[in-house]
């Protein structure tokens, strides 16, 4: 089975840096994704890691350590519009190429002035 | 142009009724999904189709029946609606089953009274 853990809520100040952690236990690991979801809207893709290390995309970076079952999403130069839920999701392959994405419960980030 | 569209956006109905939600994607993707997001914002996979073939069928009551008339459409029919079915249902699509990114529709908020 899958077990994904991330903090429920975080608060950070505009202009600052925030790190959202995600730990997971899974079989057939095949990649880790981060999605952003604003209130009342659909999730949108932010990043994807399949190998260990850091992936950078503008103000957002995501890190993965497969041996530790650990990832984080780093948001730099926070803006008010970054207030949203951030969903960690693990892709697994139980076999026959039927990849499956399992989401964590999300971290609600509030950015304050 | 909308990439993944769902209708209706809101659905309010009585217990025991049967209802359908429609999903269409114009991205030329092979794989489509249905997710359920409950009141605690937990996003959970229900079904996945690849080129009209069912590839993921999670533990979902058999009152829920997906139908894919072609690879651009994936509809969800729900029989004998129950209070616990109230949630937001998201349709999503990806290029193929070994995707890097899923594109989500705007969601259908189902309320069962």
Nearest C-alpha of chain A: how many angstroms from B57?
10
Nearest C-alpha of chain A: how many angstroms from B43?
6
Residue B99 binned pLDDT confidence (cut-offs 50, 70, 90): confident
Chain B touched by A98 (CB under 8 Å): yes
**Chain B partners of A98 at a C-beta cutoff of 8 Å?**
48, 55-56, 97
Rounded to whole angstroms, the Cα distance separating B99 from B97 reads: 5
| Predicted confidence (pLDDT) at residue A98 exceeds the cutoff of 70 | no
Strand arrangement of the beta sheet that strand B73-78 belongs to:
B4-7, B19-25, B73-78, B64-70
pLDDT tens-digit map of B10-36: 999 999 999 999 999 999 999 999 999
pLDDT tens-digit map of B47-63: 999 888 888 777 789 99
Q: Which helix (H) or strand (E) holds B75?
A: strand B73-78
Contact assignment for A42 to B42 by CB distance below 8 Å: no
Residue A42 is nearest to which of B42, B56, B105, comparing CB atoms? B105
Q: Taking an 8 Å Cβ-Cβ cutoff, which residues of chain B contact chain A?
A: 40-45, 48, 55-56, 90, 97-107
Share of chain A above pLDDT 90, in %: 82
């Amino acid at each position: 089975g899958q077990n994904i853990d991330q903090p429920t809520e975080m608060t950070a100040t505009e202009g600052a840096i925030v790190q959202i952690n995600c730990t997971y236990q899974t079989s057939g690991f095949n990649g880790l994704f981060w999605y952003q979801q604003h209130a009342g809207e659909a999730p949108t893709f932010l990043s994807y890691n399949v190998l260990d290390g850091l992936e950078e995309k503008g103000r957002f970076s995501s890190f993965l350590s497969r041996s530790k079952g650990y990832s984080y999403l780093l948001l730099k130069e926070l803006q008010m519009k970054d207030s949203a839920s951030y969903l960690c999701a693990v892709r697994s392959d139980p076999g026959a190429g039927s990849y499956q994405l399992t989401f964590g419960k999300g971290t609600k980030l509030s950015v304050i002035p | 142009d909308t990439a993944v569209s769902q209708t209706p956006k809101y659905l309010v109905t009585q217990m025991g009724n049967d209802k359908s939600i429609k999903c269409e994607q114009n991205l030329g993707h092979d794989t489509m999904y249905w997710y359920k997001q409950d009141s605690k914002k937990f996003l959970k996979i229900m079904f996945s189709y690849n080129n009209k073939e069912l590839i993921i069928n999670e533990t979902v009551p058999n009152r829920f029946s997906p139908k894919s008339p072609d690879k651009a459409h994936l509809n969800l029919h729900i029989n004998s609606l129950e209070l616990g079915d109230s949630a937001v249902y998201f349709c999503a699509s990806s290029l193929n089953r070994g995707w890097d990114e899923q594109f989500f529709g705007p969601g259908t908020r189902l309320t069962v009274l």
